[in-house]
Chains A and B, each alone.
Chain A
Amino acid sequence: MNIFFACLLSVYWLLNVPYSCALEVQATTRVKIPLVCVADRADSAMNVVTDRLQSALGFSGQFTIAVEDMPLRLTKKAIKALYVKGYPLALVITHTERNKIEWRLYDTMQAQMIVGKKCEKGASDLNWWALHVANSVWPELTGQDGFFMTKIAYSKQVAGNKGRSYRHIYVADFDGMHEQIVVNTSTINIMPRWNSDHTNPLLFYSEYTNDNVRMMMVDTHKRRKIASNFEGINMLTSFSSDGKKVVYCASRGDGNCQMYYHENGIFKRLLYTDAATGKSLADGNNISPTMSHDGDIVYFCSDFNTSLPQLYAYDIHRGTVAKITDGGYCTSPTYCHKTRQLAYTKKIDGIMQLYVFDTKTGTHRQLTYDEYTKDECSWSPCGNYLVVSIEKNNRSRVAVYSILTKQLQSITPESTICGYPAWSPIYSHYALTDGVGVAARSVLQG
């Protein structure tokens, strides 16, 4: 009898106790996430906002964005219907008041709101509004900092009078949209660089004059000032994260470019002599200085010790120089304050390719393998993108390389000649307005 009950119990246990196990699955493919923006398409302003949002979020290469018209009543049933259509996530945008916009992110399978925010219109244009929404929803979706409010500055060749050509400085959104001119003098203006003051955006650039190549700076009101006016070349500033330390290069009529460091009113030239070879920095050209996040290290490109340019790290406190690259033709280092990686270009089979050097592990990694020659590059503040000047058949364009998707996409048209791109840090606000007057004053020269 007991055995019978024992058997009965065992059978009952086997039937009713849920079986559980654990597995691990590794992905073999990558697929873009479908995301639907739901907005009132009858509202013309919302149309503009959703269209811009669609292109902005789609730029990352991680989403496919669709736009759906807002139903009369946004019920749970309506949201679940979006899941059936194949959208696991829905971004509902509503124009609540004249200057207010509200977005809510829904998990369509459960018809539950994940997060929602209201934002006030801070600028007059709808583009700003769309990018603001994209920037605030991005961290919720991906867990990473938004980069949609950042800008890219670059130099564009324009035709002048009597067959002359000039180069103007332009600023555009992260994806090349909404291009705005910042410097349009009848001169050659190249190599723009951003400062690190988050509340006071400034753009430094080099301008060819009859006497020298001087360094200028321009604010958001397009007011220009001379930053450095030494004889010869003055170019390529780089700031520490706090904006208190700056380094740039100047030749000062010497022929060779040297690096100059500025901190707390102290202005000095960076000096070093290699004990092994007896060669000093003065024996070569030292260009493209880029400062580490704390401003203690200056990475730069130099040919003082080798025939081909190599990358070096200058320790500001010790005054020592360490070689980073070994062999090849390496140029244009640019430091990422967030990931602490150094991007640079290296010649491989006659084509300059993008490389990354991890300052923490000391490892080098090749990023690109295509047929475009890369020149100047600059990191996005999030550290996931690199803006780079690409060249083929003597025509240069500006392109963005995604570290995440490993895709290179051009952001300036093929018909124009653009180069020297620089990605801005995250400014609290950046809106260009036409200023009046030009104040010529030396800032760094003292």
Chain B
Amino acid sequence: MPCPATVVVFGDPRSRSTTSGSVSSKPATGQQRPTTSVVKQVSQKKKQASVKRTVKKKDVSKAPVVTKQKAQVKPKLPAKSVKKTQPEPNKSIEKVTPPVPAQPAGEAQAVEVNENLPVCDAVAIAYADARLIHQYTVLQNELSKYWAPPPGMADDCKCQLTACIDRTGMVSDVVVQESSGVLIFDITARTALFAVAWPVWSWGSSITITFKP
């Protein structure tokens, strides 16, 4: 069941900035984002001399934060990939963030990263999810207005119905996916499906709903 609280956070315009902020993931104080030159240095070192696996692992673990592009690199992989691709250094190895001496926190390292950020896919997905969750919650609330089972139903009693909604927003068919075994319970659930005003986004779709007492 989607959490309404999540919807509020995502649906709130103020909280959108929060969302994008969390995805851009600014480095923590004291931790520095690696610059391109540092990455190149690392790759050159790899060409020159064999790098100990243990050192690499340590480096990776110490890597503070990676950008969205760099996030594709799995932090634990480089150690293995180094061994395999020693003759031709892999791009993924280049993206590994080595330990960087701490710089003053005031320096705008994060600004540089933000400038490079494209419209983040993750943010887009989050928006889509949030909108979907919001829609579901609205529909859920609407359904709960009409869903009124008879008194005295057992707590474990539930039924699952699929409502096929046509392009005019009317219920064209109801399929019982899982009966509760109690006729009046199933009938009441079906009545709720026919009573509710289906939102436009649900038109032409089929929605499976689990009814609980």
Q: Which residues of A contact B (CB under 8 A)?
A: 18-33, 60-63, 88-89, 107, 109, 114, 140-143, 384, 402-405
Contacts and interface: CB of A to CB of B under 8 A. Distances in A.
Interface string B104-116: 0000000000000
Interface of B, secondary structure class, is: mixed
B13 interface: no
Interface of B: 1, 132, 136, 139-140, 143-144, 147-152, 162, 164, 180-184, 187-188, 190-192, 194, 202, 204-213
B144 A33 contact: no
B101 to A, nearest CB: 50
A32 B184 CA distance: 10
Contacts of B147: 25, 27
B152 A404 contact: yes
A141 B151 contact: no
A235 B151 CA distance: 38
Contact of B148 (A22, A31, A63): A31
A27 B151 contact: no
B183 A114 contact: yes
Nearest to A107: B187
Given A20-B205, A403-B152, 5 more contacts: A18-B164, A20-B207, A24-B212, A31-B148, A62-B151
A23 B208 contact: yes
Given A384-B152, A402-B152, A25 B212 contact: yes
A23 B144 contact: no
A18 B209 contact: no
A367 B188 CA distance: 27
A61 B187 contact: no
B188 A33 contact: yes
A411 B172 CA distance: 46
A232 B204 CA distance: 79
A23 B143 CA distance: 10
21 contacts: A18-B164, A19-B206, A21-B132, A22-B210, A23-B139, A23-B207, A25-B143, A26-B212, A27-B149, A27-B211, A27-B213, A29-B148, A30-B151, A32-B151, A33-B184, A33-B188, A62-B152, A88-B187, A107-B187, A141-B183, A143-B182
A384 B192 CA distance: 27
Given A25-B212, A142-B183, A143-B182, A33 B150 contact: yes
Max chain B CB contacts within 10 Å: which of A25, A28, A61? A25
B187 A89 contact: yes
A22 B151 CA distance: 25
A27 B184 contact: no
B149 A30 contact: yes
Contact of A141 (B136, B164, B184, B209): B184
A25 B208 contact: no
Contacts of A402: 152
Contacts of B210: 22-25
A109 B190 CA distance: 10
B136 A23 contact: yes
Contacts of A140: 183
Nearest to B184: A33
Nearest to B213: A27
Ordered nearest first, which 6 A-B pairs have the shortest CB separation? Answer: A404-B152, A19-B205, A31-B148, A30-B151, A22-B208, A143-B182
Contacts of B190: 88, 109
A29 B143 CA distance: 12
A142 B151 CA distance: 11
